[in-house]
Amino acid sequence: MLTTHSFDLDTVPAQIVWAKRDMEIAERQDSIKAEAIFTYSLVVETELKKEVDDYPTTQYDASAVATAQTVYESKIDAVNAATTHDALDAL
């Protein structure tokens, strides 16, 4: 993971030097989980908006939410089961 940067002015042209640190498995898991939560929430919010909009023909689609929930739960289970960076990359 890149953290901070500095400038090496002794080289021509000057260079940006990036500092690095190892990224922990838990950090990557949290990031992937946050993305899964966002995606699931977006589906739920989209369906909710259909129910409360000004158009009576648009209806909340419970099956779309159920499918999104299944995908979300599967993703969370897979992320929790992943214990290496390679396993997370495979997701």
**Per-residue pLDDT, 52:** 87
Which is more confidently placed, 52 or 80? 80
What pLDDT, on a 0 to 100 scale, did the predictor assign at position 65?
96
| Stated pTM of the model | 0.74
CA distance 31 to 79: 10
Assess whether pLDDT exceeds 90 at residue 1: no
How far lies 26's CA from each of 3, 10, 45, 64, 70, in Å? Answer: 17, 38, 28, 30, 23
Q: What percent of the chain has pLDDT over 90?
A: 81
**What tens digit of pLDDT does each residue of 35-79 get?**
999 999 999 999 999 988 888 888 999 999 999 999 999 999 999
Write down the pLDDT at residue 56. 83
